[in-house]
Amino acid sequence: MEGSYSRRRFLQGAVVGGAAMAMPAASYSRVIGANERISIGIIGCGSRGVGAHMAGVNNHAKTQNIEITAVCDPWRVRQDAASAKAEEWYGRAARKFSSYRDMLALDDVDAVMIASPDHRHTVHLKAAAEAGKDIYCEKPLAMRLDRLIEACDAVKKADSVCQIGTQLRSLPSFTGCRELYRTGVLGTVGRIEQCRNGEKPYWYGYLKDVKKEDLDWAEFLGDRPMRPFDPVLYSGWYGYREFSDGPVPGLGSHFIDLVHYITGAKFPTNCVCLGGTFTWKDEHKFTCPDHVQALWTYPEGFMMSYSTNFGNGSGNSFKIFGDQGVLDMVNWTEPILSAEGGGKRMGQIRGKKRVEDVAHPDHFLDWLQCLRSRQTPNASIDAGYQHAVACIMAMQSFDTGRRTVYDAEKREIHEG
């Protein structure tokens, strides 16, 4: 494995050279040779970072010639586990860091995958772009609009290949739904909704026994105020508004992104959102809502609804309603088109029919292929920006009790 940490070199050869002529100079200078190993670093080594990101790219390690060479997490236990997993896969342990700054300073890391807590996404994304890395960043992309704009602008300025972790849009089933939607078979679409419910909020499942001596507490807090170490606050950060905004960005971001992907819409015009903690009141004093309802309207002429009930797991749904029928996507891998509820009944939809898959590389493979081709991944930085704007609109409405309005030209959210 000698030389696999080497920094990327210019790709030689007439075919690649011809393709590179169409690239901007910044992209051409970062092309990776076909026989050159891609060195990847992981920022955030929890269940998402190791179980999804690391495992996802490792599935393509041989065909795409990649290696995970560095891991970063404020909790030493997670560092050790991630490094050991890399050694199991590649024959040598990944280098370990507590701070993202130290990892990003490595010249031989080509790309990073960000699976840190939500309040750190834009910090890590911006820093990675400024360090000249390509990036895979977990959703939701941001909690604040100003930080979102700064990070997205940095990615574009650096010409980083950036994939956002809304991986459902790369499923063949949802790509099939997009192609079906484009035919217009649903007629006039007026409403798209998802109800994503559960018996208990997902943040309870992350509570762990964490020892103070094993954790870089300040690195986790970042720009949040310093306070005494709290293992519940650290391991259960998903449930606290200081670090996460709960179900709308945590789960609803996937739904929002899919609506954008399938319909071609980009930004909602306005939003209202209500919710609160109605069921799970206990000693942990979680501040993210266990019940929430958000409504957005789009200039394309439809209303989008997202709700979560974490007091009862029944009633899940994901549907696009047209005046000719309905597209039911509650089963992500087997969406169904039917004429149910169609008022005009023009006969274009007969019975119930499974939507045909449209082949698409899985989300991690798509990113890895783009690292070499310098093409735009399926969930681009623009797609991430779009879902984040919708989430931020909802949470601002939740906090103020007022409708929020987005001005796409000025990149501003107002109350109105």
Q: Summarize the confidence of residues 300-312 as an average pLDDT.
A: 98
Q: Which of 6-20, 76-90, 193-207, 401-415 has the lowest mean pLDDT?
A: 6-20
Q: Summarize the confidence of residues 260-271 as an average pLDDT.
A: 98
pLDDT band with cut points at 50, 70 and 90 for residue 27: low
pLDDT value at residue 45: 98
Give yes or no for residue 265 having a pLDDT over 80. yes
pLDDT value at residue 350: 85
364: Cβ contacts below 8 Å, ≥ 6 apart: 53, 56, 57, 59, 60, 136, 167
pLDDT value at residue 120: 98
More confident: 21 or 372 = 372
Closest alpha carbon to 337 in 255, 262, 260, 261: 262
83: Cβ contacts below 8 Å, ≥ 6 apart: 71, 93, 94, 95, 96
Residue type, 149: I
Give the burial string for 37-55 (b: 16+ CB within 10 Å, else e): bbbbbbbbbbebbbebbbe
Residue-wise pLDDT for 337-349, tens only, equals 999 998 766 678 8
CB 165 within 8 A of CB 139: yes
pLDDT value at residue 343: 72
Q: Summarize the confidence of residues 371-399 as an average pLDDT.
A: 98
| Residue whose structure tokens are 């970062």 | 30
pLDDT value at residue 7: 39
Distance CA(161)–CA(159), nearest Å, equals: 7
- For the chain, what is the mean pLDDT? 93
Give yes or no for residue 323 having a pLDDT over 50. yes
**Percentage of residues in the chain having pLDDT higher than 70:** 91
Give yes or no for residue 17 having a pLDDT over 60. no
**Percentage of residues in the chain having pLDDT higher than 90:** 89
Give the burial string for 400-411 (b: 16+ CB within 10 Å, else e): eeebbbbeeeeb
pLDDT value at residue 348: 82
Give yes or no for residue 236 having a pLDDT over 80. yes
> What domains does the chain contain, in order, with CATH numbers?
14-169+364-380 (3.40.50.720), 171-358+389-415 (3.30.360.10)
pLDDT value at residue 20: 46
> pTM to 2 decimals?
0.92
Give yes or no for residue 25 having a pLDDT over 80. no
Q: Which of 104-108, 198-202, 229-233, 343-347 has the lowest mean pLDDT?
A: 343-347
pLDDT value at residue 1: 39
pLDDT band with cut points at 50, 70 and 90 for residue 382: very high
Q: Summarize the confidence of residues 186-202 as an average pLDDT.
A: 97
237: Cβ contacts below 8 Å, ≥ 6 apart: 117, 118, 119, 203, 206, 243, 244
DSSP readout, 126-150?
A: HHHHHTT-EEEEPSS--SSHHHHHH
pLDDT band with cut points at 50, 70 and 90 for residue 416: confident
Distance CA(255)–CA(253), nearest Å, equals: 5
Q: Summarize the confidence of residues 163-176 as an average pLDDT.
A: 98
pLDDT value at residue 342: 87
Residue type, 299: P
Distance CA(77)–CA(174), nearest Å, equals: 37
